[in-house]
C-alpha cells in the first residue's frame, strides 16, 4: 500500500519520502519511483529522529503530509496470548504512529503549516475478530488516538484522517515479506491509495475524519 500511495502522489506532483526497515527493498522502490528514502523503524526513537532530521535538512518548504502506514500483526487465540506479542505490535502500530505524529505536528505548528496526518488503520479498528486480540486492540488504540488528535488539532487547521482498509493482499504479516498475489474480487493497494488521495484533495474547509474501504463483492 505504501508503494501505491507513493506512486500516485508522485504522479500528482508531490515530493515523497518513503521509510521502512528493509533497505534493499526501499532502495529498489525509491529508484523505480524516483523518490527519496530513509531506512527507519518507527519502533525506534533514534530512527524517527533521523527521519525528521532528513526532512529538516532536505525539504526547505517543510513537511505538510504524514502518512502513518507502518503496521505489523500477531494473531493468536486467547489462551495463547503473551505480553511480548502485545509489546511488539503496539510499539509499531500505536507508539510508533504516535511518535511520528508528534514530530510532524511540532513542525506543523512551528512553521504554521496547515498539515495533514493520515493514519492507515483497518476495519479491525471497528470490530474485533477471532484471534485478533493483539492486532485489533492496536487498531482500536490507533482509532482512539486519531479522534484525540482531531479534537486537539482542528483549531490549528491540522486535519487528522483515518483510513480503514478491509482485506488487501500485500506483504503484511508475511514472514518472508513477499507480496501476495492480487485477487480479482478483493481490494488492491490502488483503491487505498485513491482513497487517501481523495481525502487529502478535499478543500481545507472540510475533512473526512474516517473512511472504511471494503471490496464490493469478495465472495
- The residues carrying an active-site annotation are 135
Sign for the pseudo-dihedral over CA of 164, 95, 114, 4: negative
- DSSP string spanning the chain? -HHHHHHHHHHTT---EEEES-HHHHHHHHHHHT-EEEE--TT-HHHHHHHHHHHHHH-TT---EEEE-------B-GGG--HHHHHHHHIIIIIIHHHHHHHHHHHHHHTT---EEEEE--GGGTS--TTBHHHHHHHHHHHHHHHHHHHHHGGGT-EEEEEEE----SSTT-TT-PPPPP-TTS--HHHHHHHHHHHHHS-TT---SEEEE--S---
CA 143 – CA 163 distance, rounded (Å): 10
| Whether the Cβ atoms of residue 171 and residue 182 lie closer than 8 Å to each other | no
Amino acid at each position: 500500500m505504501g508503494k501505491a500511495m507513493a506512486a500516485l502522489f508522485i504522479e500528482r506532483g508531490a515530493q515523497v519520502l518513503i521509510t521502512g526497515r528493509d533497505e534493499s527493498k526501499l532502495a529498489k522502490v525509491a529508484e523505480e519511483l524516483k523518490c527519496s528514502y530513509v531506512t527507519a523503524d518507527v519502533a525506534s526513537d533514534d530512527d524517527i529522529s533521523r527521519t525528521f532530521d532528513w526532512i529538516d535538512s532536505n525539504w526547505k518548504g517543510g513537511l505538510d503530509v504524514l502518512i502513518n502506514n507502518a503496521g505489523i500483526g500477531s494473531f493468536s487465540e486467547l489462551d495463547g496470548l503473551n505480553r511480548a506479542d502485545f509489546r511488539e505490535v503496539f510499539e509499531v502500530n500505536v507508539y510508533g504512529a504516535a511518535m511520528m505524529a508528534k514530530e510532524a505536528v511540532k513542525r506543523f505548528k512551528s512553521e504554521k503549516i496547515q498539515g495533514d496526518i493520515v493514519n492507515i488503520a483497518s476495519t479491525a479498528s471497528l470490530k474485533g475478530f477471532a484471534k485478533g486480540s493483539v492486532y485489533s486492540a492496536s487498531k482500536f488504540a490507533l482509532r482512539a488516538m486519531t479522534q484525540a488528535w482531531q479534537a486537539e488539532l482542528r483549531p490549528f487547521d491540522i486535519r487528522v484522517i483515518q483510513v480503514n482498509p478491509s482485506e488487501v493482499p500485500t506483504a503484511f504479516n508475511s514472514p518472508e515479506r513477499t507480496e501476495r498475489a492480487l485477487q480479482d474480487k478483493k481490494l488492491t493497494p490502488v483503491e487505498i491509495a485513491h482513497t487517501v488521495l481523495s481525502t487529502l484533495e478535499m478543500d481545507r474547509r472540510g475533512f473526512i475524519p474516517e473512511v472504511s474501504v471494503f471490496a464490493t463483492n469478495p465472495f
